[in-house]
């Protein structure tokens, strides 16, 4: 079997076209959605992610503010800026790009963001709401994965879903979403014993561990839906290109559906950030 390829780029473009009307409606009510993105340090990957997020806002008509700090910025400076943004009526979403430089305690920073502006869904209040099945803001990457599964009519109730990766950004929130959707969920990590024994049971296999081509064909059940969240840069001697956590060429011969890298989950993450920012502005305009 050769898998159908899930085109995240096309789906994200469809969603983004629909966002424009919602943004225009809000702007007409004097409530143009606004997103502030904070970047501390000069991590090259983070710089690219932040640039993509800001450009996507502009294309959708969302007001965006990019705030950059040198790598040695004092955490108190960033906390002060967050307090200012929490009180700024033009700003409906605040995102602090992770990872933060080593002098930061990420938790303290994320908890300083007002939960109603936490469009990343990382604040404990939003994580708790998600755990209870009453989500306020769903973290963007897991939200994008769920949207892709829904767009493809992948049924989840009673299915075996296996996630490799237990991060707060992807693995854990995605596990909650899949549990809430009625799937039987297993969360593995790099230390899981006999990992392949788990992954081979998966109807839906999600790789989110950040290791290039880690998931090989022998780890995949024939006909599985395979979602690749990884974005890894290959060494220059291997071409320097982006690749996912899944050995795409081999696994596509086994799976029924598979997401490519690039052009799979990545564009959906940005689309869902826009969705959360618009949703935040809509809530504000109704309040
Ligand atoms: N770093 C990697 N992914 C993310 C994300 O979704 N949000 C933020 N803030 N930082 C990230």
Question: Residue 195: CB within 6 Å of ligand 1?
Answer: no
- What per-residue string of b and e applies to 177-186 under the rule 16 or more CB within 10 Å gives b? bbbbbebbbb
Q: What's the pTM?
A: 0.96
Each residue of 13-31: pLDDT tens digit?
A: 999 999 999 999 999 999 9
Residue identifier of the C-alpha nearest atom 2 of ligand 1 = 98
Neighbours of 159 (CB within 10 A): 18
> Which residue's C-alpha comes closest to atom 9 of ligand 1?
97
Report cis status (omega within 30 of 0) of the bond before 145: no
Residues 211, 229, 35, 78, CA torsion sign: negative
pLDDT digits (tens, 9 = 90+) for 146-198: 999 999 999 999 999 999 999 999 999 999 999 999 999 999 998 999 999 99
Residues in the chain with pLDDT values less than 70? none
Atom of ligand 1 nearest to the CA of 98: 10
Sheet (strand 257-258) strand order:
4-5, 257-258, 225-228, 204-207, 160-164, 184-188
**Contact assessment for residue 38 and residue 250, using Cβ atoms and an 8 Å cutoff:** no
Q: Please give the number of the atom of ligand 1 that sits closest to the Cα of 120.
A: 7
CA dihedral for 118, 53, 96, 69, sign (positive or negative): negative
């Amino acid at each position: 079997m050769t898998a159908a390829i899930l085109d995240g780029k096309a789906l994200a473009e469809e969603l983004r076209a629909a966002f424009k009307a919602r943004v225009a409606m809000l702007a007409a009510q004097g409530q143009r959605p606004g997103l502030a993105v904070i970047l501390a340090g000069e991590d090259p990957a983070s710089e690219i992610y932040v640039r993509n997020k800001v450009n996507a806002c502009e294309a959708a008509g969302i007001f965006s503010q990019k705030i950059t700090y040198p790598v040695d910025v004092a955490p108190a400076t960033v906390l002060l800026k967050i307090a200012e943004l929490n009180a700024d009526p033009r700003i409906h979403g605040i995102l602090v790009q992770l990872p933060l430089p080593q002098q930061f305690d990420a938790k303290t920073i994320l908890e300083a963001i007002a939960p109603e502006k936490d469009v990343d869904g990382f604040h404990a209040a939003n994580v708790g709401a998600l755990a209870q099945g009453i989500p306020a803001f769903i973290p963007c990457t897991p939200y994008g994965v769920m949207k892709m599964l829904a767009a493809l009519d992948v049924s989840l109730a009673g299915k075996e879903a296996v996630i490799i990766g237990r991060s707060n950004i992807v693995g854990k929130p995605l596990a909650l979403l899949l549990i809430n959707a009625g799937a039987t969920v297993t969360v593995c990590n790099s230390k899981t014993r006999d990992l392949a024994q788990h992954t081979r049971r998966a109807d839906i296999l999600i790789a989110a561990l950040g290791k290039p081509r880690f998931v090989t064909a022998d780890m995949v059940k024939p006909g599985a839906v395979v979602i690749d969240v990884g974005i890894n840069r290959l060494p220059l001697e291997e071409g320097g290109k982006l690749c996912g956590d899944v050995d795409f060429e081999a696994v596509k011969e086994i799976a029924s559906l598979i997401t490519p890298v690039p052009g799979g989950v990545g564009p959906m993450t940005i689309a869902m950030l826009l969705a959360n920012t618009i949703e935040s502005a809509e809530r504000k305009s109704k309040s």
